[in-house]
Every structure is written in C-alpha cells, then in structure tokens.
Amino acid sequence: MIARYKKSMLNAYYNYRYWQNIIQSMKYNLKDINSQHNKTCTYLNKPGIAFSFDDNFRIHHWLQYGKGLFGYYDVKVTFNINAFHHFENERSFTQEEIDMLLDLQSNGHEIAHHGFKHKRATDFVEMFGMEKWISEEILTLFEWMEEQTHSLTKEKLKKPATFAFPYFKSNKECVNALVPKYFKVVRGHLDKQNLIPFNYTGFTPSICIDVKFLKSIKMLKKILKFLKEFNKNLILTCHSILPDEQNWDDFGWGKESKPAGQWRISPKLLGEIIEIAKENGLAFYTTSELAGIASFIDRNLESYIRYTFASSRKWIMIEDLENVTQLDLSNKNITNLDGLQYFSNLESINLIGNNINDYRLLKKIPKLRKILQ
C-alpha cells in the first residue's frame, strides 16, 4: 500500500518535472525565434494551436468523439494517416473507413501523411537506405491516397502537404529528404524550442497531450499563455479520442495493441483545452495552415485559385492571397466558400452562377463590401 503510494507520488513528480522542463526551455529559447520571425497568420492575425491526430486505425474514435466536438467549436485539425490497420492482421481500410476520412476532409480538416505502413523512419533508412524508404513509405501512400474515392460523393483525398513521423522518430537526413521536395513541414515530437512561427518550413516539433504525458491541465495552461504573449504557435499531438470510461480491451485488438491504448485523450479534456485556448485569444489551425498553406474544401474553387494566384508554386500560399482586393468567381461551379477567409483584404467578390447555399463564411472577411451573388 505504502509502496504504491510512493510510486504514484514519484510518477506525479516526474510528470511535473517533464512539463517544467518544456516550459523552461520555451522561455530560454524564445529569444532565438523572436529575432527570426514576427509574423502571425495574417488572415486571423492571432497565434494559435494546431491539433494533430495520428494513426488511421483510430478513425472510428475520431469520427465518434471528435467530429462533433470540432464542429461545435469550429475547429479544424489535422489527421495523419497510414494505409494499413496497425492490428487486425494489418488489414487495409474498408470503403466505409475511406468514406469516413473523406467526410472529415469535407468538413475542412486536413488529411496528412503518416507513412504508408507506419515504419520507423530512422531504423528503416539505416537498414534499407533512403531510396527504399522514400519509395515504400512516402510515394506509396501518395499513390494510395490518390486511388481512394468516396463511394457516394466521388470526392478524392487531397495530396498532403505535411507529414508526421511515425513513433516521432526522425533525424536530419530524413527531414532533408522530405523537405521541400515532398512536404513543407514534417512534424515530430519535442525539440529544444516547441513554439513555432507562422509560415514555417522544415522539421516542426509538437507536444504530445495524450494521457500518457498530460496528467494535469495546469502545465498546459501556462504554455497556452506563452503563445499569446509571444505571438507563436504550437502543435499539440494526440492519437485516439476516447472517453476515460472506454475500456481499450473492448476493441479486441489483443495484447500487442496494449501500448497503443495509452495514446489517447478524452473528449472532455480536449474540449477544456479548446475553451482555455479561446479564453486566451488563440486561433486554431491545421498543420499546413501554420506552414502558410491555403487549402479549400471545394475542388473547383481550389483549382481556380491555384491557376490564378499560385501557378508557379507547389502549394497555394496564404501570403499569395492576402493582397487580392477583387475576385471574380462567377460561373465556376463552386458549392463551398471555405478558404476565402484567407483573402483578408478582399473588398469585392462576384459569385454569380454558382451553387452556393451557405454564405456565412463571407462574414469572416473584414473589408468585403461588394458582393454579387
């Protein structure tokens, strides 16, 4: 009894130290990034959080407990996926699960790259070389994503612009092989500086807030205050979204799935974090938005914007759009306006001849006066 009490006190102490170290290093290294970048995301002009969720086999958890929560708070997040189930004999994903992913995408969430088979990058490269890792873990998932189609809407997955290292394992060699050739940012875990500037390229750290690490919201509160104070952003990584009372063993994924069961956050805690972030005046971004990339739900809108403003670029950058004052989008077969919020200086827009039911997004554009619809 006493031994158990001692052990739990010790664990609480270690956890306190773990977070204290993160906070200390943030304070210590702030000078460095402050001198380099001072810009926030222009369309909201607010520092913010990007929630990043890993592993495709958790899709049912994301849908069941995340989709409604994010919809309620109007928060867009990033889901990093693989093409195979971690358990269930590494089966591939069913059409129903593909539809679920596309459903998240059509709600404005980012679907990003997490390795085809979730291999440890560093080990794989050491054993088989960089070329094989790129072809088997990176290119194969791009191809797989391209092949998937929603069974009803026929919507396709977008080509991901960001990557998350499986098991958080990375090194400089892997980062350099991926950026900027395939991705604008690649996400890992803790680094000496975890706050990131807007429009960033390269290796991006994140803080894991699964129950394995985050035992109390107190320390995180301090960190969220820093974001506001220093105008910086932070990626918070999680895995499954599950209520505390949900027993992991009930999924029937066997003994080998046990460690994966600790990588979870409750919808209640996630909601609390969102509330605190809002109280602190923080915005919510996807990983690619933090990297300065503009994304659109509507494919026709996206291809027109790409053609008109970013034809020479690999990605449509938010900074390409912020000086535009007029947009003629007449007869473009557009159904969804999401993404127009990046045009922060837009004054007039022509939307005649499209099939749009919801114009609420236009209210987010501060200088917009003239609307033809």
Per CB under 5 A, residues contacting Zn ion are 54-55, 166
Is the sign of the CA dihedral 264, 270, 272, 274 positive or negative? positive
Rg of the chain, C-alpha, whole Å: 21
Q: Is 329 helix (H, G, I), strand (E, B) or coil?
A: coil
Nearer to Zn ion, 99 or 210 (CB): 210
Secondary structure (DSSP) of 22-81: HHHHHHHHHHHHHHH----BTTTTB-EEEEEEE-GGGHHHIIIIIIHHHHHHT---EEEE
By beta carbon distance, the residue nearest Zn ion is: 54
Q: How far is the CB of 168 from Zn ion (least distance, A)?
A: 8
DSSP 8-state class, residue 189: S
Nearer to Zn ion, 80 or 199 (CB): 80
Nearer to Zn ion, 84 or 226 (CB): 84
Nearer to Zn ion, 286 or 354 (CB): 286
Contact (CB, 8 A) for 55 and 114: yes
Which backbone phi and psi does 71 adopt, to 5 degrees? -65, -45
Measured from the Cβ of residue 94, the count of other Cβ atoms closer than 10 Å reads 11
Ranges of H-type helices in the chain: 2-36, 59-61, 68-73, 95-106, 121-128, 130-133, 140-147, 172-178, 217-230, 267-279, 287-290, 299-309, 318-321
Nearer to Zn ion, 150 or 189 (CB): 189
Contact (CB, 8 A) for 211 and 220: no
Nearer to Zn ion, 169 or 215 (CB): 169
Q: How far is the CB of 112 from Zn ion (least distance, A)?
A: 12
